[in-house]
């Protein structure tokens, strides 16, 4: 069997998310599993870590690639990432599922097309200028 190298990669920065939600490892792990299921992906394993004094990282290894979240509860920030190979699984569905759970005040994403030549930006959503983004980080 020959496999396609084509893939889509969604990177989402979410701001203004509730501290407790971003610091709850079990909550995030459970919902990342559900997000993977919602987009039709096959979960192979999950690795999750809670940091001291706060913050969570969850990595869901998929047969089709990966889904992850890294949180900074003290800043109300989460970085989500989903990459899937082939055309049968849509990573945007997983990210949208997580946005419905996290309910960020602001979210910014890029969708990349990979595996067919140079990496290409398929979509860009940006509702904030660079200066505002830097102020939000500080």
Please confirm, yes or no, whether 31 is among the known catalytic residues. Answer: no
Q: Which of the two residues, 63 and 128, has the higher pLDDT score?
A: 63
Give φ, ψ of 22 to 5 degrees: -75, -15
Catalytic residue among 70, 82, 109, 126: 70
Please confirm, yes or no, whether 85 is among the known catalytic residues. Answer: yes
Q: Which two tokens stand for residue 133?
A: 């983004």
Q: Which of the two residues, 3 and 79, has the higher pLDDT score?
A: 79
DSSP structural state of residue 1? -
Catalytic residue among 39, 65, 82, 109: 65
Cβ-in-10-Å burial (0-12, 13-18, 19+) of 8 comes to buried
To the question of pTM greater than 0.85 for the whole model, the response is yes
Q: Tens digit of pLDDT for each residue in 65-117?
A: 999 999 999 999 999 999 999 999 999 999 999 999 999 999 999 999 999 99
Please confirm, yes or no, whether 70 is among the known catalytic residues. Answer: yes
């Amino acid at each position: 069997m020959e496999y396609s190298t084509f893939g889509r990669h969604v990177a989402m920065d979410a701001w203004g998310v509730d501290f407790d939600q971003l610091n709850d490892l079990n909550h995030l792990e459970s919902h990342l599993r559900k997000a993977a299921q919602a987009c039709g992906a096959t979960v192979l394993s999950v690795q999750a870590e809670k940091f001291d004094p706060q913050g969570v990282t969850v990595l869901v290894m998929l047969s089709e690639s990966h889904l992850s979240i890294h949180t900074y509860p003290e800043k109300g920030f989460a970085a989500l990432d989903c990459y899937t190979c082939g055309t049968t699984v849509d990573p945007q569905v997983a990210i949208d599922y997580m946005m419905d759970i996290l309910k960020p005040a602001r979210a910014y994403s890029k969708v990349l097309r990979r595996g067919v030549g140079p990496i290409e930006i398929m979509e860009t959503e940006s509702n904030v200028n660079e200066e505002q983004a830097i102020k939000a980080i500080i």
